[in-house]
Structure 1
Amino acid sequence: MSNLILASQSPRRKELLEQIQLSFSIIGSSVDETFSPDLMPHEVVMYLAKKKAMVISNQHPSHYVIGSDTVVTKDGKILGKPESKEEAKDMLQMLSGSSHAVYTGVAILHGEEEKLFYEKTDVTFWELTSKEIDDYIATEEPFDKAGSYGIQGIGAKFVKEIKGDYFSVVGLPISRVNRVLLEMGYLPSE
């Protein structure tokens, strides 16, 4: 087993870590993702990222463990993964022709050491027609994505502008993850 563990089953996060040529193992972390409504979006993603990482870190304390969580917010409201076609449509209509924020929180744990951080990226959508939204929902891509879209997939055609870290919107700010791992003394295992 690698000395680096990704506490996520997300294929997107896996691909991002592979992109920067890190050797790692994957151990999915199932946690209760409820949180206090008093938390700000950046606090929510760091709280959930740490919660996910802690489960795996407790089992493998000598390893570096990465936990992550992403939320989309519009007008202060957190938009999670849609549970129905109607909810996906409502979210996409809300995002149409306007800007929203994507927050990705990361927790990297190694023994007693922990680093928590987040990235905020602003994304602006083109004005979307009802047909565009319906056609996109028919692809089923929106259903496992916060905010009902995947910027790295078909949903890319809706994006007019982005300010911030693209990879954070995909699910993991890989450049910053790499820097923090190095700061923590991480050395890849051969």
Structure 2
Amino acid sequence: MMETKNTAKLILASASTVRQTLLRDAGLQFEAVDSRVDEDAIKAGFAEGDQDRNASTDALALKLAEEKALAVSARCPGALVIGADQILSCMGKRYDKPKSMGEARANLIAFRARPHILHSGLVLVKDGGTVWHHSARATLTMREFSDAFLDHYLDEVGSMVMKSVGCYQLEGPGVQLFEKIEGDYFSILGLPMLPLLAELRAQGVVRS
């Protein structure tokens, strides 16, 4: 068990098993609480302003992360709440998690032989106020894989392909889709662990 100085309860505002595993493997004690926020409503009401497309996508990922953490913080006074979200953009278009195998196949064809960006937003909220935030980007380039490989990949991965916005888990067979990856591994998985741990040390939640 890690020694801590801050007695605030640590909560992850997410039902993501990947994010939970990352925190658990790092030795953190926390509770996972589903925020139950309406992500589509947040996206629909998001004002992009005069920012460029990448900057506005960073801001949207951060907004989603913050709204999740705020929703959980309202139900858990005194707790330090981690909010995280990730958006994929490719050729200026934003993508959500596919809702069907057909949509996943179409998305992977759109990503094929092109770079896409994973925009990650990360916040810490306590008692309804944001105490820290962080944004990160990773750029991943898929190789020119054949249709036969794509069919094989989808058969092998099955419905798991719909659990991530990019239709892959980099720690599994999805790594075979790529020719180049630029960015932090944890950010690609949806939780930038190194800046998060640094801030948790600063907050006295984990030993420095």
TM-score normalised by L of structure 1:
0.91
Partner of residue 154, structure 1:
173
The residue correspondences of 1:131-150 to structure 2 (distance < 5 A) are: 131-138=148-155, 139=157, 140-150=159-169
Partner of residue 187, structure 1:
205
- Contact 1:6-1:27 within 8 A present in 2 as well: yes
Q: CA deviation at 1:118?
A: 1.2
Partners of 1:174 and 1:155 lie apart in 2 by: 21
Partner of residue 20, structure 1:
26
Partners of 1:159 and 1:176 lie apart in 2 by: 26
Partner of residue 192, structure 2:
173
Partner of residue 69, structure 2:
53
Partners of 1:55 and 1:61 lie apart in 2 by: 11
Partners of 2:148 and 2:98 lie apart in 1 by: 19
Partner of residue 94, structure 2:
78
For residue 65 of structure 1, the aligned residue among 59, 71, 81 is: 81
Q: CA deviation at 1:19?
A: 2.2
- Contact 1:68-1:106 within 8 A present in 2 as well: yes
For residue 136 of structure 2, the aligned residue among 113, 116, 119 is: 119
Q: CA deviation at 1:147?
A: 2.1
Gapped regions of structure 2 (runs ≥ 5)? 1-6, 49-55
1:22-48 per-position Cα deviation (integer Å, ceiling 9, x unaligned): 111111111100214643210111011
- Contact 2:200-2:206 within 8 A present in 1 as well: no
Partner of residue 8, structure 1:
14
Q: CA RMSD in A?
A: 1.9
* Larger displacement relative to structure 2 (62-71 or 138-147): 138-147
Partner of residue 51, structure 2:
none
Q: CA deviation at 1:137?
A: 2.1
Q: CA deviation at 1:113?
A: 4.3
Partners of 1:130 and 1:113 lie apart in 2 by: 46
Larger Rg: 2
SS at match of 1:83: coil
Q: CA deviation at 1:2?
A: 7.4
Which residue identity does 2:200 align to in structure 1? Answer: L
Partners of 2:188 and 2:134 lie apart in 1 by: 15
Partners of 1:66 and 1:186 lie apart in 2 by: 15
- Contact 2:88-2:96 within 8 A present in 1 as well: yes
Partners of 2:171 and 2:8 lie apart in 1 by: 27
Partners of 2:83 and 2:20 lie apart in 1 by: 12
- Contact 2:8-2:78 within 8 A present in 1 as well: no
TM-score normalised by L of structure 2:
0.84
